[in-house]
Amino acid sequence: MRIKNIVEQLIKIHNTNDPFKIAKEKNIIVLFADLGDTLGFYSTYKRFQFIHLNHNLSEEEQHFVCAHELGHAILHPKSNTPFLRENTLLSVEKLEVEANIFAVELLLPDDFIMQYQKSDLTIYHIAQMHSVPKELIYLKRI
């Protein structure tokens, strides 16, 4: 529940759930580069924080990976995180799971889900509409 509370406060303070806007307001530098099979990673240098994103990702993928790396920046600010590779998206490593929970909670806040309460959409459709991989929807805490 701690991560969900952190995310709720972050959304309230920044008046958005857009990870790019939050990163900018928190002076976290977002860089795009050809990272091969690496989706993205978070790093620090001196007092500067960086989110590195693979520029070959789709817009939806960039949105999720930015949210994931923002999770590292907020939850694990002193750690230079390992590269998030496509095959490690479902990692069970503690820091990666926490960053995934952060990203899911950021991109799918409870009030977004409630908007679709009377629709025929499944949680998987809603997740897809908000850049959350369906494999990670189980991390959502309602």
What residues act catalytically?
Answer: 69
Q: What is the 3-state secondary structure of the chain?
A: CHHHHHHHHHHHHHCCCCHHHHHHHCCEEEEEECCCCEEEEEEEECCEEEEEEECCCCHHHHHHHHHHHHHHHHHCCCCCCCCEEHHHCCCCCHHHHHHHHHHHHHHCCHHHHHHCCCCCCCHHHHHHHCCCCHHHHHHCCC
